[in-house]
Chain A
Amino acid sequence: EADIYQTPRYLVIGTGKKITLECSQTMGHDKMYWYQQDPGMELHLIHYSYGVNSTEKGDLSSESTVSRIRTEHFPLTLESARPSHTSQYLCASRVGAIGEQYFGPGTRLTVT
Chain B
Amino acid sequence: QKEVEQDPGPLSVPEGAIVSLNCTYSNSAFQYFMWYRQYSRKGPELLMYTYSSGNKEDGRFTAQVDKSSKYISLFIRDSQPSDSATYLCAMSYNTDKLIFGTGTRLQVFP
Contact = CB atoms under 8 A, between A and B. Distances in A.
Interface in B55-110: 88, 90, 92, 95-103
A42 B46 contact: no
Given A41-B102, A42-B101, A101-B98, A106 B43 contact: yes
B44 interface: yes
B41 A106 contact: yes
A97 B95 contact: yes
Q: What size tier do the contact residues of chain B reach?
A: 20 to 34
Interface of A: 6, 31, 40-43, 45, 48, 58-59, 90, 92, 94, 97-106, 108
Interface of B: 2, 4, 8, 32, 34, 36, 41-46, 49, 88, 90, 92, 95-103
Nearest to A107: B43
Given A102-B46, A106-B42, A108-B41, A42 B102 contact: yes
Given A103-B44, A105-B42, A59 B102 contact: no
A99 B101 contact: no
A27 to B, nearest CB: 14
A101 B43 contact: no
B52 to A, nearest CB: 12
Contacts of B36: 103
Contacts of A45: 97-98
Given A42-B2, A106-B42, 13 more contacts: A42-B99, A43-B90, A45-B97, A48-B97, A58-B97, A90-B44, A99-B92, A100-B34, A102-B46, A103-B36, A103-B45, A106-B43, A108-B41
Nearest to B49: A100
A101 B100 contact: no
Contacts of A41: 102
Given A45-B97, A98-B49, A100-B34, A40 B8 contact: yes
A90 B34 contact: no
Contacts of B103: 40, 42
